[in-house]
Structure 1
Amino acid sequence: MDQFPKVSICMITYNHENFIEEAINSVLMQECNFEIELIIVNDCSPDKTDDVIKIILENNTKASKIKYFKQQKNVGVMSNFAFALKKCSGKYIAICEGDDYWTDPLKLTKQFNFLENNPKYIIHSSNAIQLSDNFDLNYKPVLKDITDKTFILDDFLIANNIITCTVMFRNDKIEFPSDFYKVTFGDWMLYVILLFTSNKKAYRTTECLSVYRIHNGGVMSNLNDLKYFKSHINQILIIKKYLNIKRFSNSAIEILNQYSLESFRIEINKRMYKEALRTLFGNLYCSKFKIPFKKYAQSVKNYYL
């Protein structure tokens, strides 16, 4: 066994007292012929997440593999994520958030072997099983694709194509731009940074190695329709700025226009007229952006009368 870890597992957690034990155990059950370390960073959870982790540290025979950090105050998801990644010292980093877990004891070995044998790839990921808030594990894959896929940077400009709890990537020196802390989807931004700085590719297999949990306390569950569209607009604009893209592609324009129009409709229906006008005039990405003026003009007019 090597003295230093070959794989670091990055696990951020917040209010995961009901899930964190399963997540930790799924990491410690991994069968590897290389050293691993599990980096857990608790973003000052007000629930009993800290108690659960401490019990594991005191009683689990593999607790020596765990390095546990607890923030003294809540720093937010992006800052906590960046902090955890910087604590990882392995050649590779795998991600498993505190509300997800792995199902295959050979997950790390399979991904380690792939990256060792395929130097042109910086990311390896897989499919996952979706687990709903009512613990309905129906064994339906999150992704419907039936073929393995290779992705390049352009594939991540307007969408995330991989599931966080399935990812392993090369621990190249990561420089976080200041705008990293302004995005909602830190994993997506991380992949953009990795692909851009390395000029390598990402690989996704259809094999299900993990469970992706959907629950009321999750980041995605807390995005209502308006926040969902606004967050995606913001993410795409930050990616454009980071990559210094001068002009949007037609596909990016189409997506931005779609998200902007949906935001506009929701804001009008909620009588958020100032916000709607800001969305309308702040997100005209091309002349083909079609706003249903006749349908909504009277509502806006009434606001100013």
Structure 2
Amino acid sequence: MANKIMVSIECTSYNHENFIAEALDSMLMQRTNFTYEILIHDDASTDRTAKIIKSYEQKYPDIIKPIYQTENQYSKGVLVEEFNLERAKGKYLAVCEGDDYWTDPDKLQKQVDYMETHPQCSMCVHAAERVSAVTKKPVSVMRPSHKNKIFSVEEVIEGGGDLFATNSILYSREKISEMPDFYLNATVGDYPLVIWGALNGTLCYIDQNMSAYRVDVKGSWTSVQVSDVAKKQKHLQEVAEMLDEINAFTNYKYNCVISRTKNRDRFYILLKQMKIKETMKRGYRQFYMKPEFFKRVFKRITI
């Protein structure tokens, strides 16, 4: 029983040779009273990423369990996260992509302790720091609350994809056993994942900074997809389609917040396009009065 795996760490990687060692070291430094495994999926990296992973695999064969693709699966439209999900043995699953890392050696223990004493909880997240991959310096903090908090489904939907850092997520495999179509069809995995978590139990936020989320990573999903207005617009259209799927899936229980979230996203795209007159139309003007406008508008129009 002592060797039973409590946490499976899901790590996807592609051309992360400058980051993967730090990511793996941050996982291996975890101080726990339970056993965990590190599941790595390398999507046919063309740099030294696979070689670095192999060196860690040789050193920690009982912990590090990689898959080395010979052909890139993401470019074929395959949901690469599924490769790790299908083989996970842990009661809980933690997420950390190959270009991110954890900063607190007790992160997993703190989250598991909470989950074990709160059986209604389906997902546990925490604060994180955004760190520039270029300067290696902190850029901002992802801290949606200044105290521990249970986030409602409505707050998670309205919070958007950057409400929580992906590498802060730990969730129950029992409560989130099968992924719905709106997750499988989505172009990005973290936003629909946290919504699905909130729909299947309570989503707990721990107000402690325990990980670093890299930004400005060359070739990353974000840098490729939202590097200009047209790509950002396409991305938000795909998000809107995902939200429509969630709306139908939940029998329109969250129609109000979904409609408001879609309108807000359109509002920020218009701002980014400098279409100020259109932002003054009915349905958009309300967002000028929101406190978040002053905190987020400059970041959004300069992405």
TM-score by length of 1: 0.79
Q: Which residue of 2 aligns with 1:86?
A: 86
Q: 1:230, 1:259 within 8 Å by CA — same for their partners in 2?
A: no
Q: Which residue of 1 aligns with 2:68?
A: 70
Kindly state the Cα deviation for residue 9 of structure 1 after the two structures are TM-superposed: 0.4
Residues in 2 aligned to 1:41 and 1:141: alpha-carbon distance in whole angstroms: 28
Residues in 2 aligned to 1:174 and 1:49: alpha-carbon distance in whole angstroms: 30
Q: Which residue of 2 aligns with 1:237?
A: 241
Residues in 1 aligned to 2:197 and 2:257: alpha-carbon distance in whole angstroms: 22
Kindly state the Cα deviation for residue 205 of structure 1 after the two structures are TM-superposed: 1.6
SS in 1 for 2:80: helix
Closer/same/farther in 2, CA of residues 145 and 244 from structure 1, 3 Å limit: closer
Q: Which digits, 9 at most, give the CA deviation of each residue in 1:16-55, with x for residues without a partner?
A: 1110111011111111111111000011112211111112
Residues in 2 aligned to 1:203 and 1:2: alpha-carbon distance in whole angstroms: 27
Q: 1:226, 1:263 within 8 Å by CA — same for their partners in 2?
A: no
Closer/same/farther in 2, CA of residues 67 and 138 from structure 1, 3 Å limit: same
Give the letter aligned to residue 213 of structure 1: R
Q: Structure 1, unaligned stretches of length 5 or more?
A: 270-279, 281-286, 292-305
Aligned length: 271
Closer/same/farther in 2, CA of residues 75 and 166 from structure 1, 3 Å limit: same
Give runs of aligned pairs for residues 1-305 of structure 1, distance below 5 A.
Answer: 2-58=2-58, 60=59, 62-76=60-74, 79-138=79-138, 140-143=140-143, 145-158=145-158, 159-160=160-161, 161-172=163-174, 174-196=177-199, 198=200, 200-214=201-215, 215-222=217-224, 223-224=226-227, 225-242=229-246, 243-246=249-252, 249-260=255-266, 263=269, 288=282
SS in 2 for 1:122: strand
SS in 2 for 1:68: strand
SS in 2 for 1:6: strand
Residues in 1 aligned to 2:284 and 2:194: alpha-carbon distance in whole angstroms: 32
Closer/same/farther in 2, CA of residues 247 and 37 from structure 1, 3 Å limit: closer
Kindly state the Cα deviation for residue 226 of structure 1 after the two structures are TM-superposed: 3.1
Residues in 2 aligned to 1:185 and 1:169: alpha-carbon distance in whole angstroms: 18
Select between 238-247 and 35-44 the one with higher mean Cα deviation: 238-247
SS in 2 for 1:2: coil
Q: 1:174, 1:194 within 8 Å by CA — same for their partners in 2?
A: no
Select between 87-96 and 252-261 the one with higher mean Cα deviation: 252-261
Instruction: Percent identity, please.
Output: 27
Q: Structure 2, unaligned stretches of length 5 or more?
A: 286-303
Closer/same/farther in 2, CA of residues 258 and 229 from structure 1, 3 Å limit: farther
TM-score by length of 2: 0.79
Kindly state the Cα deviation for residue 249 of structure 1 after the two structures are TM-superposed: 3.9
Q: 2:132, 2:139 within 8 Å by CA — same for their partners in 1?
A: no
Residues in 1 aligned to 2:92 and 2:137: alpha-carbon distance in whole angstroms: 30
Q: 2:101, 2:167 within 8 Å by CA — same for their partners in 1?
A: yes
Residues in 1 aligned to 2:252 and 2:142: alpha-carbon distance in whole angstroms: 34
Kindly state the Cα deviation for residue 175 of structure 1 after the two structures are TM-superposed: 2.1
Question: Of the two, which has the highest radius of gyration?
Answer: 1
